[in-house]
Amino acid sequence: MREVVLVYLDRSGGLQKFVHDCKKYNDSKQSYAVYRFIISINPSDIAELDATLGNYILHNPLQAAQIFQSVCFVAIKTLSLIEQLQTEAQISILLKPTHLPPLPSYVLSLSAYPFNYTSQRFYMSEGIVIAMGTVTKYTQGARFLCTEETCPFSEGRFRCIRVHCPGATESATVRTDFMCNLCSSPLQEDMKFRVLGDKQIVEMIDAKILNALKGYSIDKSHFRIQAFTLFLR
């Protein structure tokens, strides 16, 4: 599947964009713990190249992103795109599909039953925004060092980093009780390498509310509209 990813990126122009993004990181004087890349993908085109990979992207996007992560790391090292990059874990890949299959199973409807949305895969959702919060910062990635000076993880390498994953809370990336996997000593964040991003909280309601605003219909049954929260990062 790694070969298919490389072929797709080359044909779609994603590889050229990736090289351009790497150049911006390489030319920047800022130090990064995590290098974040947004890759646009067309599920239909990928499925034509390899049906297994196309299905993997649609239903296991977090695991599929790891395949793209591996390919991007090899490309960076082979072409010497980012001199500061040390480990594969420093690369954060966000897959952005251009569209999803027009099937009911890919539509997120909180009014449908049963609520079988435990899988972490892509869904489409249509609604009306009723409230928006202010844009605030969140931590995309951070580097930690072991507080024990004799521990190899206390050196200035990127062996202990935390990267934000979709659906995770802020405390999963940054807090003060992380322990070293090697010597069990407390870890301390190196603030110089914290990577920040923008987030915004949005309240939405289902688009079916428009039918209720038209007035009473023949159906006299009662119904209730429940708002839901989205985190835009």
My answer on whether 70 and 21 are in the same domain is yes
- What's the pTM value of the predicted model, to 2 decimals? 0.85
Q: Residue 190 half-sphere exposure, CB side, CA atoms within 13 Å?
A: 21
Residues 22 and 127 in one domain: no
Q: Which SS3 state, helix, strand or coil, does residue 81 take?
A: coil
User: In 3-state terms, what secondary structure has residue 229?
Assistant: strand
Q: Are residues 96 and 11 in the same domain?
A: yes
pLDDT score, position 209: 79
In the predicted model, residues of the chain with pLDDT beneath 50 are: none
Whether 206 and 128 share a structural domain = yes
**What local confidence, expressed as pLDDT, does residue 95 receive?**
94
179, 146: one domain = yes
Match 């874990």 to its residue by tokens. 89
pLDDT tens-digit map of 213-225: 776 555 656 667 7
Same domain, 6 and 101: yes
pLDDT at residue 104, rounded to an integer: 85
- The confidence score (pLDDT) of residue 212 equals 72
Q: What is the reported pLDDT for 90? A: 93
Q: Could you tell me if 125 and 217 lie in one domain?
A: yes
Cα separation, 57 vs 49, whole angstroms = 13
The pLDDT assigned to 199 comes to: 94
Tell me, yes or no, whether 8 and 56 share the same domain.
Answer: yes
- Are residues 25 and 120 part of one domain? no
Are residue 58 and residue 150 in the same domain, yes or no? no
Q: Please tell me the predicted confidence (pLDDT) of residue 222.
A: 66
HSE of 97 in the Cβ direction (CA atoms, 13 Å)?
Answer: 24
Report the domain count for the chain: 3
What is the reported pLDDT for 157? 81
pLDDT of residue 115: 62
Q: Tokens representing 217?
A: 């219909």
Residues 90 and 120 in one domain: no
> Residue 146 belongs to what domain range?
136-197
Last residue of some domain: 105, 123, 145?
A: 105
CA atoms of 191 and 179, how far apart (whole Å):
17
How many Å apart are CA 191 and CA 143, to the nearest integer?
A: 8
pLDDT of residue 130: 93
